[in-house]
Amino acid sequence: MKLAFSLPLGVALCMISPSAPRAQDNQNNASAEKNVPANQSSGPKLIRAPIVPASDEAIRKNIEGTVALQIVIDAKGKVIDSKPLSGPPELFETAVASTKQWQFERPGSAPAVATVEVRYGHPHECPGPISDSREVRWGGWYKSPKGNVISADDRSMRKTLRFPYTEEDRKAGVAGVLILSVSVDRKGRVRDLRVAKGLSPDLDESASTQVRKWRFRLVSDKGGGFPDQFLVPITFTPTCSPFN
């Protein structure tokens, strides 16, 4: 029987085929069985499972997969040893580091040995009606028709914690690139803004409200500097969790 736990950061955990605690006598085994939760066939119950994210290199290389590990649980429910058995080698270190932070209920007999899996994956783009999450991308450099290269000032852009992307819009299949036409004055403040390509009334309005708060700066003024006008794209993408 597998036990599934919902965890953040695109990581799922299953505890599989826990080995029976090392028996000292039949009475201890019977006592341990009585304490097993109804949805767990054997082995101590997992009560805390922090996950160490995959390394930057693994994320950059888009490495995904399942790492199977054999863990040893002491009398206090702590993992005292963890060894990878299979999976992408690039994920071994973080999977081991994760399991060594886990906490189980006290096993009926210690040490207890179990085989566990840690699965690493990334959200992926999917049709809006079946999506369960979202991704919104913005920022970067913008080039104006005059030849200027422009960027939003970091301090002003921090005011935009996120662009609202409602579940209603996402489930209705509203997705793609929303484009705003922005005019700035000599100090890089937004003087005028209009929707050049819209996605929905709600997204158009919320994105416009956020970008009006931004202040822009010149990365390159080959076009003669401010004032200027340019396009700001914002991409809305429905995504599905990696294990759905």
The whole-number average pLDDT for the span 10-35 is 37
The Cα 61–Cα 77 span in angstroms is 35
Average pLDDT over the chain, rounded to whole? 82
pLDDT bin (cut points 50, 70, 90) of residue 123 is confident
- Domain residue ranges in the chain: 3-120, 125-240
- Check residue 76 and give its pLDDT: 94
What mean pLDDT do residues 45-68 have? Answer: 86
Q: Return the higher-pLDDT residue of 51 and 83.
A: 83
**Burial of 93 by CB count in 10 Å (0-12 exposed, 13-18 middle, 19+ buried)?**
middle
At residue 119 the predicted structure's pLDDT band, cuts being 50, 70 and 90, is: confident
Mean pLDDT of 60-78: 91
CATH number among 3.40.1190.20, 1.10.10.10, 3.40.50.1820, 3.30.2420.10, domain 3-120: 3.30.2420.10
Q: What's the pLDDT at 83?
A: 96
| Mean pLDDT in residue range 128-134 | 92
pLDDT of residue 102: 94
Least confident of 95-99, 163-167, 171-175: 163-167
Identical fold at 3-120 and 125-240? no
**Domain 125-240, architecture per CATH:** 2-Layer Sandwich (3.30)
- Check residue 184 and give its pLDDT: 97
Find the mean pLDDT for residues 21-43: 34
Q: Which pLDDT value is given to residue 172?
A: 95
CB neighbour class for 229 (10 Å; exposed up to 12, middle 13-18, buried from 19): middle
Contacts of 61 (CB under 8 A, 6+ apart): 90
